[in-house]
Amino acid sequence: MSDLLHLEVSPLGEHSISRSISKEFLATYKANNPDAVIVTRDLAIDPVPHLDGETINAGYTPEADRPASMATKHEARLTLAQEVIDAKHILISTPMWNFTVPSVLKAWIDQIIIPGHTTVSGKVTIIEAQGGSYAEGAPRAGWDWETGYLKQVFTSLGATDVEVILSEFGLAGVVPALANFIDNKNASIAAAKKAAQTRAAA
């Protein structure tokens, strides 16, 4: 049982925008909930395995007939799912990669969704760092396959309180095409940090 299940995804450590925002969430959360039990999974350091055939087939194989390697993989999957089921609040901090979630996060999602088994009853907070902007009116409006996808993952599991905190223009100052958006970047990160603090205090 945990009060907070905290997932990190970015491999960029100290330079990660998503991590800098989740840091603000965690500081406020810990200040407000000093005794909270927090389970952290850093998928950049400890990725979970992709679903393989043996893990999938465990669901269709009676327990007594499962070979040891299948049983071990099944147990590991159940452990990941149980962390989700038990959490009162799930915090996901992730970049956008190629218009959606990085594959380490997708691998975790494939592990934890066990139809008819996995449910989410607590809050879900998703912190997303994007390099550009997919807002209405932007040249690539409609190209964001991450935000709606992540919301759908958790609402499909029963979550009713899902908040996405978005920071945009992370690549301003990095790629020449976005050189004019550095102010937007800084404002977006500052707003996301504030939203993260507010959410953590709620």
Binding site for ligand FMN (CB under 6 A): 10, 12, 16-19, 95-99, 129-132, 170-171
* Calpha distance 42→18 (Å, rounded): 13
Paired sense of beta strands 89-95 and 123-129, if any: parallel
Q: Calculate helix-pair angle for 68-86, 103-112, nearest 10 degrees.
A: 90
Q: Which is nearer to ligand FMN, 72 or 184 (CB)?
A: 184
φ, ψ dihedrals at 174, nearest 5°: -115, -50
Between 157 and 172, CB nearer to ligand FMN:
172
Strands 38-42 and 4-8: parallel
Shortest Cβ distance from residue 185 to ligand FMN (Å)? 9
Which CB atom, from 2 or from 134, has the smaller least distance to ligand FMN?
A: 134
Q: Please, which residue, 10 or 111, has the CB nearer to ligand FMN?
A: 10
Cβ 42 to ligand FMN, closest distance in Å?
A: 13
The least CB distance from residue 94 to ligand FMN, in Å, is 7
Assigned token pair, 101: 């979630």
Nearest approach in angstroms of CB 46 to ligand FMN is 17
172 DSSP 8-state letter: B
